[in-house]
Structure 1
């Protein structure tokens, strides 16, 4: 009988005995993170951030942030042999994540709450909490690589598993917190992580991944409908201004959408090109009308000195799309403007434009508007 070779694990910064606050979600990635840190000599404190409110059923929150997940995280902490705490962040989560999520839809934008959660809660509030607890580091199960450059500065690089890389969600991390963050699974691929969990008998080894927005039970449109009133409006053709349909609120649409428009004339495919909540108008057009050659952002955050931002770089405008080449036209501490190498389809305001130099994460910003290839509203009245 052949004895399998234990899965090798990458090293993390040498700090034997250093105290680490490990964010545990009840999933396999954070479970393995806690286990690896403990084995490597760290003094590990497990913690889960409580987001779910008392006034809603516990099923409201998805498996990654639910009471059931907290129970599993606590059991894993017992398996690993580390203390575990449930930290109350309900107020911060409502203020920084849920309310802005609804507000963005009211403005005709398409938000990404996971970016806000990582920026304003996990890597801001959690680092503060770690310091209060006497911890030198915060560790998470993100598939991100922590790299120290020749100047001793900490950089975030894409994880080694291209299917799981999560740097897209971390562009807003406060730069001053980078030295305090560890990513023990960043140099592993998902199958390796599950193998490590199985070898150590962790109860989350085969737990399925969460795929949804944690606080949205079911469809996003249904959640938005609970919080924003229906307001009847018109659907207009972007080139002619012709009324081609009606709707019950711009909040139910996103740029590029082609299904569920309910148009009077359905003989050709139309896409949502522009949303105007003020006039409650949904503008639609052809695929070509939804192409943009650049973007601008606000609320930018840079993980490098602004003077070092390269003029040529790569930008990613959705989590599941490949990065594309772009030229920086302007950049300051508030935001930046880019021109794409090739026109891009349905760049949605409210989403994130994330900047890279190869695998290195440089920063990002929230997309505010776009530069269309075709005139959008001129002559449309």
Structure 2
């Protein structure tokens, strides 16, 4: 059993203490029953690497796993650089959050390790984030973080540590289907469902991932944390991108040079304004355009990085009838992909029906049942059959004819 917290040049003791009064579970349906129902036959007494972010969801996940008889190792991935600004320390995965995660691990009685993932985070998350904005697209860094770090790098680390599973505090259901295949389903709390971020999870990693709070709602999770006296019980949720101090616009401006250009009307070609760089805009945006004729209501319709032009138009000009996605990941056999399914094109948006026009290892093309507004290249198109996550891909640039 690991017994200390390894960091760069230091060790934190991981003394275990639990108040006897905090050992009683009280949930409408016990989490043990939910785990049995949702997860099939897990390895009894298996070893679990529980990713802890310093938030209430991962804290409760670690506690529930410990109470169910798993051998739990708490771990947090260090993403922040040594010069991380003080005003970002309230985000998840910050130095302050690491301290709180360590304290919770002590409360639960499990060892805790701080894992250095700074290089991987810069390579897989921050670098591509800036590159996508520079290319006129709107990235979602949380997708890359889950796909390339948490459920790729961390699963590999877990295997090196002799762990059977990786667990996180995501609101996602782990379901074992009749044939023994593991699938991810939407969590029971529709306001917190996080399957949208997990479409890129390597398919072969699915059997090794657990979601202890996936069948709970947020108030239940906080109640469980309070019963156990966990110090994160009332901690507010972080709403910011963890590596962005301030606004996204300010962060991008710090790294991507400004390049002034023209705003033009998509229908007439008329110059209607000026901009400081295509990286500061996203499809559908109508605020902060600074048009010459300010009474006009216009939306960003297209970002042409090659000509350094921001094209604007009316609401109808932002409607997409089809979608093309690239760099796909399928969580089922491609032959089993239904011809009609649900697709979600941004986090917290309502899934819509779509017909599959093409799907292969290079990408897929969909036709919406109803036109969709401002489908932004760089965001994720995530595929579902009811609550079941089927996979997804990155929304590709939309080809359109432009005025001369």
> SS of 2:31's equivalent?
coil
> SS of 1:197's equivalent?
helix
Given candidates 10, 26, 29, the residue that maps to 1:6 is 26
Tell me the equivalent position of 2:11: none
Deviation of the 1:60 alpha carbon: 3.4
TM-score by length of 2: 0.91
Quick check: 11-20 or 78-87, which moved more? 11-20
Given candidates 276, 279, 284, the residue that maps to 2:307 is 279
Alignment of 1:337-356 (within 5 A): 337-356=365-384
Tell me the equivalent position of 1:188: 216
Q: State the Cα deviation string for residues 162-217 of structure 1 (Å, max 9, x = none).
A: 00000000000000000000001000000000000001111100000011110001
> SS of 1:124's equivalent?
helix
> Cα RMSD over matched residues?
1.3
Given candidates 78, 81, 90, the residue that maps to 1:53 is 81
Give the whole-Å Cα distance in 2 for the aligned partners of 1:82 and 1:285.
56
Deviation of the 1:117 alpha carbon: 0.1
Gaps of 5+ in 1: none
Give the whole-Å Cα distance in 1 for the aligned partners of 2:195 and 2:295.
41
Give the whole-Å Cα distance in 1 for the aligned partners of 2:250 and 2:30.
43
Tell me the equivalent position of 2:163: 135
Give the whole-Å Cα distance in 1 for the aligned partners of 2:320 and 2:361.
24
Tell me the equivalent position of 1:266: 294
> SS of 1:123's equivalent?
helix
| Aligned partners of 2:199 and 2:390 also within 8 Å | yes
Q: Residues 5, 43 of structure 1: CA spacing in aligned structure 2 closer, same or farther, 3 A cutoff?
A: closer
Quick check: 62-71 or 224-233, which moved more? 62-71
| Aligned partners of 1:147 and 1:156 also within 8 Å | yes
| Aligned partners of 1:146 and 1:154 also within 8 Å | yes
Q: Residues 192, 298 of structure 1: CA spacing in aligned structure 2 closer, same or farther, 3 A cutoff?
A: same
Give the whole-Å Cα distance in 2 for the aligned partners of 1:320 and 1:235.
30
Task: Tell me whether 1:27 sits opposite 2:55 in the alignment.
Answer: yes
| Aligned partners of 1:16 and 1:40 also within 8 Å | no
Give the whole-Å Cα distance in 1 for the aligned partners of 2:258 and 2:387.
43
Deviation of the 1:17 alpha carbon: 1.6
Q: Residues 219, 104 of structure 1: CA spacing in aligned structure 2 closer, same or farther, 3 A cutoff?
A: same
Deviation of the 1:59 alpha carbon: 3.5
Give the whole-Å Cα distance in 1 for the aligned partners of 2:25 and 2:163.
33
Task: Tell me whether 1:377 sits opposite 2:398 in the alignment.
Answer: no
Tell me the equivalent position of 1:65: 93
Q: Residues 296, 61 of structure 1: CA spacing in aligned structure 2 closer, same or farther, 3 A cutoff?
A: farther
| Aligned partners of 2:90 and 2:96 also within 8 Å | no
Give the whole-Å Cα distance in 1 for the aligned partners of 2:89 and 2:271.
40
Give the whole-Å Cα distance in 1 for the aligned partners of 2:167 and 2:306.
44
Given candidates 340, 349, 373, the residue that maps to 1:321 is 349
Q: Which runs of 4+ in 1 moved over 3 A?
A: 58-62
> SS of 2:396's equivalent?
strand
Give the whole-Å Cα distance in 2 for the aligned partners of 1:338 and 1:113.
24
TM-score by length of 1: 0.96
Task: Tell me whether 1:86 sits opposite 2:114 in the alignment.
Answer: yes
Query: How many correspondences in the alignment?
Result: 373
Deviation of the 1:86 alpha carbon: 0.1
Quick check: 250-259 or 62-71, which moved more? 62-71
Gaps of 5+ in 2: 1-23
Tell me the equivalent position of 2:251: 223
Give the whole-Å Cα distance in 2 for the aligned partners of 1:62 and 1:354.
30
Q: Residues 112, 264 of structure 1: CA spacing in aligned structure 2 closer, same or farther, 3 A cutoff?
A: same
Q: Residues 5, 300 of structure 1: CA spacing in aligned structure 2 closer, same or farther, 3 A cutoff?
A: closer
Deviation of the 1:61 alpha carbon: 5.1
Q: State the Cα deviation string for residues 28-47 of structure 1 (Å, max 9, x = none).
A: 00000000000000000000
